[in-house]
Structures are given as structure tokens and as C-alpha cells.
Structure 1
């Protein structure tokens, strides 16, 4: 199966052909995928070199002229390194862009901590007005890229990963999808962790919601699920643990509830290893998730039909 990033350049290259507002801004990484598009649209495919602050500044400038810039590099270089420019050039100037990342939390362990960005979504959460898509399959990535580019002049982050579920789901870029129904709690699985969550919760009487868009957070969808399953909520996110717990608490602020945030831990793992080893070390493998979810749901549970 191809990866989400394999879909990125072909999808955006077609959008360049179809929509004269679309522009692409790169910082060397990913340039090979746009060679032909660069030949066809030399004024709308821009490579700034290894200058990530300039990457964001250029995108903001293009947006101010009426273009819809699509900006791409590794997550650590797209969100963390040029964060001041994301905050000011895009946020403060109220200009829109589509930031499309690669490498996710630890997709390339051999790159070391400089190429890991488990805090990217949490960092964007400090800013106002961002839509955040976290696809779990290449088909979903393609759908969400189209949504992002078509989203007027909004600020959108699309988080691509080599980790993937076995099959794509029908998604709309806004709402959670109910994958399994139960009555002893709700588990929200974000993006590429869905398959692992389904394996971990096999036989448990829980509702599993699938989230590929986490900002805005589908509070209404969560409320509907907790009406039937009770207000014990477990979040399993492929980035910093607890990133969305505040969103859950806000959605359920008027009712007693408990929330457990699972995801990538704060402790830095200083050995390269493999993706699978990092997943297990952060407790995101199926066996670890089953123990943590099973130990949480039902203990002091607030019953359904409150």
C-alpha cells in the first residue's frame, strides 16, 4: 500500500492544474515529487531552500496576494522551528495556508529527536482558528487534502504519517465516525491508531469513535456517544498524550465525567530503534492499550442515561 505522503504530491499537483489560486511552498524536502508541476507552474511552485522561517513567511505573502498556499516539510520543521512565523505571519496577519507535515511523532526514528514532533498539535492549540486533520489512511489523506485546499482562506494543518490503518473510512472533514458501540465508556481513536485501538478493545463493552479531524473538536458527536455509553472517555492520540483532554472536558462540562489521555509520553527516548519499538515504549501497542483502557472504563463509571 502507498503511504499518505505518496498521495500528497500527485493530489496537490492536480490541484495546481485545476485551481489557479493554489501554490506550493517547499523547503527542499519533498521537492522531487513536484518536479513536473514546477515545470508546468514555475510561478506557483516555490522552493525556498532549507529556510523554514522563510517557508512560512513566503506562504503568508502569497496568501496576502489571494493565493492558497500549500506548505510542506517535516512536522518538526513546519510547526516547531518556525512557530513564531506561524503565530505572526499567518495568525496575527489573519492569513490562511495549508500546512502539510510528514514524519509525524516518530515516523523516522533514525533521524533522531530533531525529526520528531509529538508536540505539534498541542503547540498549534495555543493559537486561535486552526483546523487540524489527522488522517489514518492514504485515502483519507487525499480526502482531507481536498477539504483543506477548498477551505476558503482558513488555517489548516494536515498531519501525514507512514503509520496507517488497513482500510480507509468515509469521512467528511468535520465529524467523528462511530466504529463500534458499547455501554461502558467511550474510546476516541485519532487517525492511524484506530486499528490498534480496535484490537485493544476487542470484547470490551465500549463505544469506539474514530477522529480524523480533531480541531474543531466534534463535541456534539462525543455528547451523543456518551449519552448511550456513559461519560468515562479515553482519548488515544498519535501525538502528545492529553492534547485533547481539555476539549473533552469542555464538551462534557455540565455533567460528571472522567477522561484518560493516552498518547506519546513526554520522556525523550534516546535510542533510535524502530517505529514499533517507539510505539511500545509509549504504551501505544495493543497489549498496553488494552491494559490501560480496561483498567479505566467502568471504575467509578458515570452510567449512561444520566
Structure 2
């Protein structure tokens, strides 16, 4: 991993993103950062050292994406940041047109995840963000589970040209893992043992939920495009699989079905339920429990899958 940040590095994913901006701007002269107020208070050093390269458009999320599209057309590499609901849902038409239809690249980096800002109400919750981005052609989605993974992904994608969505969460795993786009086996077992695939920051929760269950546990930080070859190699000829995602349940269903289309399979998707509309705003932990994304909530469906 290449990073030039100095001092103790934060374990919080969002804070680590802010810490990496100044060294990113040093390392990549074609990178600009585009904000819609959120995050600007954390970037005073980068703003001072790189005048004109941290652009705050104000609370104008459609303009946020439009400015990024214009920068990309001019040969710049924009890194665009705000909460997920304001980065993906509110300016979705601009993401589709100003970036996708114009066929230019950018790195969208969200915070807030599905319900990190639970006290902010439904306006600040975005469990459908990965499903929406995945519906557009040409995007890569990274869902890191550790601050070191955030740094590695940022530096790699800053020198790329593609359209990339990086989803940051308040939830995190205890240690980093390879962010190479592939599936990685984290707990092994017999070849015929069912597989539980954890996405991003769900890994430690899945390991706890399945500690005494006869399953293998795999992990990826890049659910889109999904590592189909890796999934097929792990799943075997008659797959029994659970996919645990920190966003809308079934977001990866089409990709999993395509990867296993020639095999008789049983697949469970665990995520934020599609019929869930919580109208009482507790803590993120309360929301995880209510949505079945805490260890107990994951354990029950996986045991049912085992039969």
C-alpha cells in the first residue's frame, strides 16, 4: 500500500479518508476533491496546501456531480464526497448522465452507509445505494471494512480512469484484508461445507454469528463486479451459500445467480430487508438489530439454510 499520511492513522474509515486527502493531492497532480459542505471542516490542511483543488459547491448535490463530470471531461480525476443519500440517491440522474453517459471517470466516496447517521432520520439513510450504482454500466463498487483498506483503495483508484464508488461505514473489522477484487476464504472447512460470503465490514459479525456452525466463511471488499470465478471455485458443484451484505438484501442476487447459473444451488441473501421502513431512530446498533444484521440476526437464517 502506498500512502504518505503521517502520524498515527485513524481506525475510523471516514476519518482515514480525510487523512489521506492531503497526501493524495501531493501524489496525484491531476486529482481534485469535490465536496458539498460535508467534510470540508476536516480538510483545512489540504485546502491550505492545495489551493483550488478542494472545491466546495455548497449544499448542491446535483451540482456536486455536474462539477465532477466537467472536471473529468477536462482531464482531471475528481474524488467526490458526501453522505451516501446525497451522493447517490439525490443526484442519481447526474450520476447516470454527467458521468456514465458522458463516459468519464470519477471516484465517489460516501459516508453514512445504510444507517450510520440513524439519528438524522430517513433522509440520511441509504441502504439502496449499492443497488442503484450497480444498475448503471461501467461502475466498480468497493465496500472496505478497515481503514487501511480505505487508504489502499483510494491511492489505487486515484491513478485510474474508471467510475468507482467507495462506500465507507462506521462499522469495521478488527484487521485489514486484501482489497484485490477477489473473494478470500477466511474460515476453511470441508469442501462440501456451505459458504457464508461476508461483504466489507460484515466479516467480523459473520465470524461471530457462525463461530460454531459448520460453514466456511469467505469475504470480499468488491461486490461489484463480483468475483464470479472465485465464487464458483468456493461453492462447488451444488452450492449452498449465504451472502451477507451491509445494505439492501439481494443487491448481489443477480450476480450470484449468473455465476451459479449452471449449478443447482440454494442461496440466502441477508441484508437490510426490502420491506423495512423504520420510523423510530435509535443508534446504528439498534438499526442493525432491527434489520437482522447483528450476530443473532445473521445466525438464525444461516442455521435455517443449513437445514
Q: Does 1:289 align with 2:278?
A: no
Q: Which runs of 5+ in 2 are unaligned?
A: 1-9
- Contact 2:61–2:91 (8 Å) recurs in 1: yes
Q: Deviations over 1:195-238 (max 9, x none)?
A: 1100111122212111101111000111111128x401111000
* Aligned residue runs from structure 1 range 160-175, under 5 A: 160-169=168-177, 171-175=178-182
Q: Which runs of 4+ in 1 moved over 3 A?
A: none
2:256 maps to what in 1?
248
Query: Helix, strand or coil for the counterpart of 1:215?
Result: coil
Deviation, structure 1 residue 172: 3.4
Alignment length (residue pairs): 295
Q: Deviations over 1:149-201 (max 9, x none)?
A: 122x10000000111111222x1331111101233211110011111100111
- Contact 1:241–1:261 (8 Å) recurs in 2: yes
Distance across 1 between alignment mates of 2:54 and 2:62: 17
2:104 maps to what in 1?
95
Q: Does 1:227 align with 2:252?
A: no
* Aligned residue runs from structure 1 range 205-224, under 5 A: 205-224=214-233
Q: Does 1:63 align with 2:83?
A: no
Instruction: Determine which of 259, 266, 280 is the counterpart of 1:271.
Output: 280
Answer with 187-196 or 201-210: which moved more. Answer: 201-210
Query: Helix, strand or coil for the counterpart of 1:86?
Result: helix
1:237 maps to what in 2?
245
Distance across 2 between alignment mates of 1:159 and 1:103: 8
Distance across 1 between alignment mates of 2:19 and 2:295: 33
Distance across 2 between alignment mates of 1:22 and 1:33: 18
Q: Deviations over 1:110-153 (max 9, x none)?
A: 100000000000011210010000001111111111222122x1
Deviation, structure 1 residue 59: 0.4
Distance across 2 between alignment mates of 1:13 and 1:75: 22
Answer with 41-50 or 111-120: which moved more. Answer: 41-50
TM normalised by structure 1 equals 0.94
Deviation, structure 1 residue 43: 2.0
- Contact 1:207–1:225 (8 Å) recurs in 2: no
Distance across 2 between alignment mates of 1:38 and 1:288: 43
Q: Does 1:84 align with 2:93?
A: yes
- Contact 1:101–1:160 (8 Å) recurs in 2: yes
1:49 maps to what in 2?
58
Answer with 86-95 or 2-11: which moved more. Answer: 2-11
- Contact 2:28–2:158 (8 Å) recurs in 1: no
Q: Does 1:149 align with 2:175?
A: no
Q: Does 1:177 align with 2:184?
A: yes
Query: Helix, strand or coil for the counterpart of 2:164?
Result: strand
- Contact 1:137–1:164 (8 Å) recurs in 2: yes
Answer with 76-85 or 26-35: which moved more. Answer: 26-35
Distance across 2 between alignment mates of 1:2 and 1:213: 20
- Contact 2:173–2:201 (8 Å) recurs in 1: yes
Q: Which runs of 5+ in 1 are unaligned?
A: 300-306
Distance across 2 between alignment mates of 1:218 and 1:125: 14
Distance across 2 between alignment mates of 1:163 and 1:144: 17
Deviation, structure 1 residue 104: 0.2
TM normalised by structure 2 equals 0.93
